[in-house]
Amino acid sequence: MKNADADTYMSAILTIAEKPTAKPAADLKHGSGDKRFKILEVHMKKHQFKQDALIEVLHKAQELFGYLEDDVLLFVAHHLKLPPSRVYGVATFYHFFTLKPQGEHTCVVCLGTACYVKGADKVVAAVEQLTKIKPGETTPDNKVSLLTARCIGACGIAPAVTYDGQVAAKQTPEATVARVKSWMGI
Partner 1 sequence: MQIEDLKALAEKHKSSRKKITMRACMSAGCMSSRADVIKKNLETAVKEQGLEVAVEVRRVGCMGFCGQGPLIGVDGLSAKEKLFEFVKPDDASAIVGSLKGGKCDVQVGNPDHPFFAKQFKIVRANGGIIDPERIDDYIAIGGYTALHQVLTEMQPAQVVDEVTKSGLRGRGGAGFPTGLKWGTVAKSPGAKKYIICNGDEGDPGAFMDRSVLESDPHLVLEGMAIAAYAVGADQGFLYVRAEYPLAISRLQTAIKQAKQLGLLGSGIFETPFNFNVDIRIGAGAFVCGEETALMASVEGKRGTPRPRPPFPAASGLFGCPTLINNVETFANITAIINRGGEWYAGIGTEKSKGTKVFALTGKISNNGLIEVPMGIPLRQIIMEMGGGAPDGRQVKSVQTGGPSGGCIPAAYLDTPVDYESLGKLGSIMGSGGMVVMDDTTNMVEIAKFYMEFCKDESCGKCIPCRAGTAQMENLLNKIIARQATARDLAKLEELCDMVKNTSLCGLGQTAPNPVLSTLKYFRSEYEELLQPDKFGPRANPTETVTK
Footprint of partner 1 on this chain (CB under 8 A)?
51-56, 58-59, 86, 89-90, 93-97, 111-114, 116-118, 149-158, 160, 166-169
CB of 108 vs partner 1, minimal distance in Å:
10
Minimum separation from the CB atom of position 67 to partner 1 (A): 14
Which residue's CB is nearer to partner 1, number 13 or number 155? 155
137-138 vs 105-110, strand pairing mode: unpaired
User: Based on CB atoms, which residue is closest to partner 1, 133 or 152?
Assistant: 152
Of 9 and 49, CB closest to partner 1: 49
Nearest to 172 by CA among 186, 159, 154, 153: 159
CB nearer partner 1, residue 20 or residue 156: 156
Minimum distance from residue 92 beta carbon to partner 1 (Å)? 9
Taking the least distance from each CB to partner 1, the nearer of 23 and 150 is 150
Report, in Å, the least distance between residue 164 CB and partner 1.
13
Please state the closest distance from residue 154 (CB atom) to partner 1, in A. 5
3-state secondary structure the chain: CCCCCHHHHHHHHHHHHHCCCCCCCCCCCCCCCCHHHHHHHHHHHHCCCCHHHHHHHHHHHHHHHCCCCHHHHHHHHHHCCCCHHHHHHHHHHCCCCCCCCCCCEEEEEECCHHHHHCCHHHHHHHHHHHHCCCCCEECCCCCEEEEEECCCCCHHHCCCEEECCEEECCCCHHHHHHHHHHHHCC
